[in-house]
Structures are given as structure tokens and as C-alpha cells.
Amino acid sequence: MAEARRPIRVLVVDDSAVMRKLLPIVLQHDPDVEVVATAVNGVVGLRKLAQFRPDVVTLDLEMPGMDGLEVLREIVTQDGTPVIVVSAHTAEDAALTAAALSTGAVDVVAKPRSDQPGGLESLSRELRSKLYAVAGRRLRRLQSPPVSACAPAKAIPGIAATRVVAVAASTGGPAALAHLLPGLPVDLAAAVVVVQHMPEGFTGMLAARLDQTCPLRVEEARDGDRLQHGRVLIARGGRHLRVRAAAGGPVALFGAGPPVAGHRPSADVLFESVAAAFGPQCIGVVLTGMGEDGAAGLLAVHQARGFTIVQDEDSSVVFGMPRAAVARGAADQVLPIERIAESIVAAVRRKAQREPAPTPLGLPAGPQGEDP
């Protein structure tokens, strides 16, 4: 007889009595999830973390005394339990959330607004899906970021992009981006466009946070923005991002439209537009994340004779998106996050010089992954 699966054990850390009651309520009808304890502040949260050994921690960031960021740093460096931030829709909370995600929190769910129809049901679905995705993972600390992150000399965009690096990420993505982007040099001869699955209202602060440590300019995309060498554009939450050829150089364009692969912005949408606009002069990268968004689009990049990179399982918080891309035969390389920046730089150089790509990892030599 098969042994019954143990429920996912959750610790809720929040100074709000409302949230300490609400989160157990929205999760109580799921037999695969159990809230084992709640904590009123960070000090109590760390004590209960040691006492109850939960599979996942949900964490508020604005707490008196030891705030959420301090708690998060302790968990990331000492414990490795996955942390999901529960954040409000305010500018201050968005800034704190961006800092937390870059520090090592695996994902964020937004607290429901009082004027939001179906807010509790949406919160329940989103939180449960993220609990399922990260439970059982023990987070490993990344190696120190590249030296260039310490005192970045900013690139000065201006050259219309002739090459583009498109990056997709979801759960665990902000921390991966915080490691990857500082490793790209100031003279990178390509534009960079990024889809990071986040709630609407948080991507601007993520871009601002990443811009502080990156040699390249990092900005939240605006409709009609020019793609330029030395510039990174982060897709805005709640809007699809596509790139198109235009007089004077390629541009970024917003679109509403329904979610694709369950997401808006969708990596598939971005990748397919990049493949169409840049052909073999594009590089696609799929980082950590749950689901399958980006797999079909990365295959389009691969078939356009671009070059494709996928984050490996060991360094991914969730291997869902990377696994789906590998399963479709879309990956030319599968690498730990620490090696992806150098691979991007080498691919950009090859494309600028029209050199052939290396033999795809795990695949026979042949035309796939080669530049013209």
C-alpha cells in the first residue's frame, strides 16, 4: 500500500493579525497544504522556523523590529527554506519586494485589494501553485556576483540593436537575474529584453533594483522604446512585450491580449517576436521558473538559427520552464546560472564575427545552433 504523501508545511510570518488569519483560511481546504504555525514578527518567525521545520515560509516585509529583509537574509544564508513574499500593491512595498526577490526570495504573491473582485480566490490559487512548485527545494547560495557588479561603469545606449538577448524567468528569477545581468559587460554588442513573471506594479522596482548593480542600463520597458546595445528592458507586469523592426532601429511594443501559457507578459510571445525580427542574430535564455512558458518561443529562436541557453536543474529554484524547453529540443546549452553570462558574451561575439556556434550540448554536430 502506497504511503500517504505528507502535506506541504507552511510557516506564515506577518505582523498583520488579518493576514495571519487570512492565509490559513485560504489554504485550509487544500488537504496537501498545512499551515503549521504563524509568527507575529521576524524574531518569532526565526524561532518557529527552527521549531517546526516548515517546507515553505510566507513572509511579510514590513514588520517592526527585525524586518522581513533581515529575516530573509538569515533564512537564505543559514537555512535554505524557500520564502514566498506576500506584498501589498504600494510603491514602498514594491521596492522592498524587489530587494527581497533579488536577495533570494523565490516568488511574490500580492495581497488582495479590497476593491478586487475574486481577490481571495485568486490569492488561494496563486499561492497554492507556488507552494507546490517550491516545496522540498533547499535553496543553495549562489557564488559571489561578478566583480563588475561592485562598481558598474554604465553603458551609454545609442546604437540601434543589431543583435538581441531575450531572457525569460519566473519563480526564483529575480535572484538569478541579479546574478546574471551584472556579468554582462558594458560594451555588450546587443540589446537585452527580459520577461520576468511578476504581478503588475512590481516590475518597475525590479528594474530599478537591477540597474543599481549592472553595467548595462536596466529600465522597465515603455511602449515604443528603442532596442539599443547596452540597454536592458524589463517587460511590464500585465502587458505582453514584443519587438518589431522599425525605421531607425527595432522597438519594443506593448500588447494587451489574453495570457499565453498562463502568463502576461509571456516569454513565448517575446521569444517568437525576437526570432521573427532578428533571426540568427538573437540569443534566447530560459531561467528558473514553473510551468512551460518560454519553451515554444525558445524553439522558435532555435529554429531561426539563433543560439539558446537554459539554466540547469541544480541551480534552478524550479526546473519547470527549463525542463520544458529541453524536452522540446530547444536548448543548445544547459548551464548553471554562474556560467550563463559568459556564454551570452561568447555567443554575442560569435554572432558579431559570424563565427560558427559550438556543438550543442548533448546533441550531434550539425546545422542546429549554427550562425550563417
Q: For this structure, is 293 an active site residue?
A: yes
Q: For this structure, is 170 an active site residue?
A: yes
Please identify which of the residues 93, 225, 268, 293 carries the catalytic annotation. Answer: 293
- Closest-CA residue to 291 (of 254, 257, 266, 255): 266
Cell matching residue 44: 518569532
Residue 157 to residue 93: CA distance in whole angstroms: 30
Please identify which of the residues 170, 273, 315, 316 carries the catalytic annotation. Answer: 170
What is the DSSP-derived secondary structure letter of residue 146? Answer: P
- DSSP for 177-217 reads HHHHGGGS-TT-SSEEEEEE---TTSHHHHHHHHHTT-SSE
- Inter-CA distances, 132 with 11, 65, 82, 321, 370, Å: 14, 31, 11, 15, 38
- Closest-CA residue to 157 (of 242, 98, 215, 220): 215
Strands in the chain per DSSP E: 8-13, 33-39, 56-59, 83-87, 107-110, 164-169, 191-196, 217-220, 231-234, 240-244, 251-255, 282-286, 307-311, 333-335
Please identify which of the residues 87, 102, 197, 229 carries the catalytic annotation. Answer: 197
Report CA torsion sign: 198, 199, 200, 204.
negative
Are residues 263 and 238 in contact, defined by beta-carbon separation less than 8 angstroms? no
Are residues 138 and 80 in contact, defined by beta-carbon separation less than 8 angstroms? yes
Are residues 11 and 36 in contact, defined by beta-carbon separation less than 8 angstroms? yes
Q: Give Cα 33 to chain centroid, integer Å.
A: 25
> Strand, coil or helix: what is 361?
coil
Q: For this structure, is 197 an active site residue?
A: yes
Residue 215 to residue 327: CA distance in whole angstroms: 34
Kindly list the catalytic residues: 170, 197, 293
